[in-house]
Structure 1
Amino acid sequence: MKTPNSDLTQWLDRSGMSRKELARRVKAAAQTWGQPHITPDATTVRRWLEGDQPRPPVPEILADVFSASVGYRVTTYDLGFSESPAVDRALVYNSSFAVTVEAVADLGRADVDRRKFLAAAPFAAVAAIGPSRDWLLNTLDQQPPSGPRVRLEDVSAVRNMFGEFQRMDVLQGGGSGRLILAEYMNQHVFPLLRRTHTEDVRRALCEAAAEQTYLLGWMAYDNGEHGIAQRYLVQSLRLAEESRNAALGAHVLAGMADQATLLGNPEEGRRLAQAGRAGLGNSTSAACLADLWALEARALAKLGDKTAATRAVRQSEASFNRVRSEDEQEWAAFIDPAYLHGEHANTFRDLEQASTAEEHARQSIDHARKQRRARRGAMSQAALAVSHLQRRDLEAAHAAGLRTLSLSRQVKSSRCVEAVQDLQRRMKPFGRNRLVADFNERARDLVAAA
């Protein structure tokens, strides 16, 4: 027996629409969505009220219709429908700017209201294919709906907050402030995107929103919530395209490449890094280009292509030598020697070139220590420990492993925990050696808490 949808009934009463009028508006909205086959009538609406679950994208269209009626965002969750359609919509790189704004707003709200969200947001291995292609090919010129105009001062306020949240991520880990940032986006940034702007303000606002949406994705990625991260990154890429900032779009693709390689799909990681380079060119952002080459090297190392991976590291280093900090955007601040040497250390670790991995790891550790960046220091200490294990020097590996543990406890980052777990696996061939037992005992609380 079906359960009546009391939420939908309440929203229909609140809107003042009849069933016939709601059906008419859904039909009209479906036309703008490119779904002319969706033609509900009053009987269809009655069935929804009685508990029938409409097929996607009808729940999203209903949410848009009610949002327009009441003057603020209503989600599929509010209407009593499963969150899954809204979550899945965030994987779509939509040509409509208005639909993109609502998709990322729904995603942010679902992220804050986490009762069902995590289970509904799996990582989709092939979801990046369309977005990366469309980012390279699309040139869009759609205007936002009418409303009070946004000023450049509004955009500056958003940018100032980005810097604060980025520092929080770098120093404390992705698990520390993401939900605060998501709530800030829900309350202050997404509403601005729905208002009217001059063209220069519109692009600046989309750029600022793309930066913060990327940071939300990166924080989720660092905290091991890959389904959420992927959805934020797809929507960030779409907002970056709207801003006409090629370097920012390439930066988002770098994040997507990093995630794909980490989750066991280095071929996809390589392709995403190459797409970023193709869209970026050689002169827009030397820092972003260095990052893309570094991530391509990581993917190539996972694929076992020693020659290509080594060449990509050299390209990364050459690109970074051309960086002029005054020419780079704020989001590129993390692309520095601590980060790049850490990535190169992991590349040579995977190529089992222990000496070269150790050299890069030590340089990364030195820079991270000076900047008090515990997360980067922990991951580079782990790479150093692996280089010692590859040379069968368990005592040196144990010492580096303990430093990894100490730094990992200072941040909330699943990547640090995963680095510790990787060390535990790599120490297994040493059997019941007392140093292995000691490391496992010291790591137990950190791993158990994660």
Structure 2
Amino acid sequence: MARPVTNSAFEGLLSAAGYGNAHAAFARQLNHAGRNEGAWRYDAASVYWWLRGRRPGEHVQAAMAETIARRLGRSVAITELGFGAADSIGIYVYPASVDGAIDTAEQIWTRLAKHFNQHASGVFDSGKALEAALGWRYDLPDEAVSRNGRHQVTSTDVQSLYSLADHFTDLDRRHGSGSPRARAVMADFLVRQVAPMLRGTYTDAVGRDLMRAAATLAGQLAFMSYDAGEHAMAQHHVTLGLRLAKAGDDRLYGAHLLANLATQAVFMGHAREAARLVEAAIDGAGRAPAAVLARLHATAATAYGQSGERRACQLALARAERALDRAAGTDSGPRWVGYFSPAHLAGAALRCLGDLRLYTQALRHAPDALNLDSQNTRTRVLHTALIAMTHARAGDTNAACDWGRKLAQHAGGIQSARVQQRVRELITALNMQQASPEVNKLLHTLAGVPATR
């Protein structure tokens, strides 16, 4: 069933210019008008989505106005097209084309770079998340991604982007992502350097690698936004990253991003939607390396645990454990999955078994959950909070206080909305016992933990 038109202004201009029933013809003229921007491949489907709320980039709107103006014999202002301001647009929609993904990237990177000190509008939309999963899993692959733009892009240029992604990943793990300036610096680089590369000249092979690198950067920015509590912006970037990974023919990284989206859904309390997202990720990953499967099944376990599906949770945990055992001493898979260790799996087990109120089983994983590399500072704090919370829920107030003091000691140095949420959850769990002098003292200490800046 066709969706209703939401941009009546654009529809009216198309009709007045004789393109009302000739969307493909309009798209061809638009591609010709924008030839200096590179090899645009807009088609009738692009026009369909523009009429239904999708917002093209400013440069595309300028070409639209030029194309319509030639047919009408008068000037057409961009504001007449009805797309509105960039800051008011909802951009959860999974882009239908590579050009659409490039447009979307330019829009949201520019928005974040300009408004780094403002919270992104909107909330996590589980329905749009599932739509993105379906698009990534079932849309046909892109036949070609080569372009003819203003600047030549080489393999060396692309490799530098991977190095940058590694740098931001390391900073994120050590210090958290609560500071908006860290994300603003990254967004500014994406606007100034990566967006022009996406509109440059490259072969299909270089283009695929460029799409994969851009997906990696979008995915890292998404995770940083999620950690900072900017859930709308995080979802925007995961959706974008999924489309770029699709263009890059990288189904494994796409599955990884979809699992990240599931992790965000669990955090927001959308357990059943999270389970569907990670099931799509596992299905789409196919015969993936063992380390990738371990990560995916661990994420599935957390979703099942939150939704109370005990059998499915324990089965997913067992699959994750077997996969991680196979990964030991063998090819560890893509570079981005190297972070996932037995400690991360133990943290997932601690969480999902705790959600199922299997506290004794959950706490068996506590020692392994803290066996982390030194750079995983934030994960260590998150796992410490989980251990304290699990003891509190199990009724062991003394142990909860012991671990709560350790949490307070280290949480203040991490800028992370997720860490702050774990602190608040522990305070709530201990409030019933505040008559205890030990608990009351810890509650005052936790209340003094600095909030994310």
TM range (shorter): 0.7 to 0.9
Structure 1 residues 382 and 252, CA, compared in 2 at 3 Å: closer, same or farther? same
Measured in 1, the distance between the counterparts of 2:54 and 2:295 equals 41
TM-score (norm 2): 0.81
Gaps of 5+ in 2: 1-16, 18-24, 32-41, 67-77
For the pair 1:34 / 2:45, whether they are aligned, the reply is yes
Measured in 2, the distance between the counterparts of 1:328 and 1:69 equals 48
SS in 2 for 1:334: coil
For the pair 1:65 / 2:76, whether they are aligned, the reply is no
Measured in 1, the distance between the counterparts of 2:130 and 2:362 equals 32
Larger mean CA deviation between 271-280 and 298-307 belongs to 298-307
Deviation string 1:143-202 (CA, Å, 9 cap, x unpaired) is 354123311111111111111111111111123532222112111112111112122111
* Cα drift, residue 299 of structure 1: 1.0
Measured in 1, the distance between the counterparts of 2:261 and 2:48 equals 34
2:320 to 316, 328, 350: 316
How many residue pairs get aligned? The number is 404
Measured in 1, the distance between the counterparts of 2:85 and 2:200 equals 28
Asked if structure 1 preserves the Cα contact closer than 8 Å seen for 2:259 and 2:277, the reply is yes
Equivalent residue, structure 1, for 2:109: 108
For the pair 1:415 / 2:418, whether they are aligned, the reply is yes
* Cα drift, residue 274 of structure 1: 0.5
1:285 to 278, 283, 289: 289
Equivalent residue, structure 1, for 2:35: none
SS in 1 for 2:202: coil
Asked if structure 2 preserves the Cα contact closer than 8 Å seen for 1:83 and 1:120, the reply is no
Equivalent residue, structure 1, for 2:230: 225
Structure 1 residues 289 and 306, CA, compared in 2 at 3 Å: closer, same or farther? same
* Cα drift, residue 387 of structure 1: 2.5
Measured in 1, the distance between the counterparts of 2:411 and 2:320 equals 27
Gaps of 5+ in 1: 1-19, 39-53
Equivalent residue, structure 2, for 1:157: 160
Measured in 2, the distance between the counterparts of 1:180 and 1:296 equals 33
Amino acid at match of 2:167: E
For the pair 1:443 / 2:440, whether they are aligned, the reply is no
For the pair 1:380 / 2:383, whether they are aligned, the reply is yes
Asked if structure 2 preserves the Cα contact closer than 8 Å seen for 1:385 and 1:398, the reply is yes
Asked if structure 2 preserves the Cα contact closer than 8 Å seen for 1:375 and 1:407, the reply is no
Structure 1 residues 67 and 441, CA, compared in 2 at 3 Å: closer, same or farther? farther
Asked if structure 2 preserves the Cα contact closer than 8 Å seen for 1:375 and 1:411, the reply is yes
Measured in 1, the distance between the counterparts of 2:409 and 2:63 equals 49
Q: Taking every aligned residue pair, what percent have the same amino acid on both sides? A: 24
* Cα drift, residue 98 of structure 1: 0.9
Measured in 2, the distance between the counterparts of 1:412 and 1:93 equals 30
Measured in 1, the distance between the counterparts of 2:353 and 2:55 equals 49
* Cα drift, residue 435 of structure 1: 2.1
Measured in 2, the distance between the counterparts of 1:312 and 1:354 equals 18
For the pair 1:258 / 2:259, whether they are aligned, the reply is no
Larger mean CA deviation between 343-352 and 284-293 belongs to 284-293
* Cα drift, residue 290 of structure 1: 1.0
Measured in 2, the distance between the counterparts of 1:67 and 1:161 equals 33
1:294 to 286, 292, 298: 298
Deviation string 1:35-76 (CA, Å, 9 cap, x unpaired) is 6689xxxxxxxxxxxxxxx98648636541337999xxxx99
Asked if structure 1 preserves the Cα contact closer than 8 Å seen for 2:161 and 2:213, the reply is yes
Measured in 2, the distance between the counterparts of 1:115 and 1:373 equals 25
Structure 1 residues 397 and 116, CA, compared in 2 at 3 Å: closer, same or farther? closer
Asked if structure 2 preserves the Cα contact closer than 8 Å seen for 1:84 and 1:121, the reply is no
Structure 1 residues 69 and 135, CA, compared in 2 at 3 Å: closer, same or farther? same
The aligned runs of 1:99-248 (5 Å cut-off) are: 99-114=100-115, 118-138=119-139, 139-147=141-149, 148-176=151-179, 177-248=182-253
SS in 1 for 2:449: helix
Deviation string 1:54-105 (CA, Å, 9 cap, x unpaired) is 98648636541337999xxxx99xx99433454x13x111221111111011
Measured in 1, the distance between the counterparts of 2:157 and 2:174 equals 27
Structure 1 residues 208 and 233, CA, compared in 2 at 3 Å: closer, same or farther? same
Measured in 1, the distance between the counterparts of 2:122 and 2:143 equals 30
Measured in 2, the distance between the counterparts of 1:364 and 1:204 equals 35
Larger mean CA deviation between 27-36 and 432-441 belongs to 27-36
Deviation string 1:290-315 (CA, Å, 9 cap, x unpaired) is 11111111111111111211111111
Asked if structure 2 preserves the Cα contact closer than 8 Å seen for 1:257 and 1:272, the reply is yes
Q: Which runs of 4+ in 1 moved over 6 A?
A: 24-27, 67-70
Structure 1 residues 58 and 132, CA, compared in 2 at 3 Å: closer, same or farther? closer
Equivalent residue, structure 2, for 1:93: 94
1:249 to 246, 254, 257: 254
Amino acid at match of 1:266: A
Amino acid at match of 1:349: G
Equivalent residue, structure 2, for 1:395: 398
* Cα drift, residue 207 of structure 1: 0.6
The aligned runs of 1:352-371 (5 Å cut-off) are: 352-365=357-370, 367-368=371-372, 370-371=373-374
Measured in 2, the distance between the counterparts of 1:68 and 1:150 equals 27
For the pair 1:406 / 2:409, whether they are aligned, the reply is yes
Structure 1 residues 247 and 100, CA, compared in 2 at 3 Å: closer, same or farther? same
